[in-house]
Homo-oligomer: A and B are copies of this chain.
Amino acid sequence: MEDPCKARQVLGIVGDKWAMLVVRMLKDGPRRFTELKRSVEGISQRMLTVTLRDLERDGIVTRTVLAVMPPHVSYELTPMGRTLREATAPLLEWSIEHLPHIDAARAAYDNR
A residues lining the B interface (CB < 8 Å): 1, 3-4, 6-11, 13-17, 20-21, 24, 40-41, 56-60, 80, 83-84, 86-99, 101-102, 104-106, 109-110
Which among B15, B59, B106, B109 is the interface contact of A14 at CB below 8 angstroms? B15
Measured between alpha carbons, how far is A60 from B17 in the docked complex, in Å? Answer: 21
Q: Which residues of B contact A41 (CB under 8 A)?
A: 4
Interface class of chain A by DSSP: helix
* In contact, B105 and A1 (Cβ under 8 angstroms): no
Q: Which residue of B lies closest to A41 (CB)?
A: B4
Q: Which residues of B contact A15 (CB under 8 A)?
A: 11, 14-17, 20
Q: Which residues of B contact A7 (CB under 8 A)?
A: 20-21, 24, 92, 95
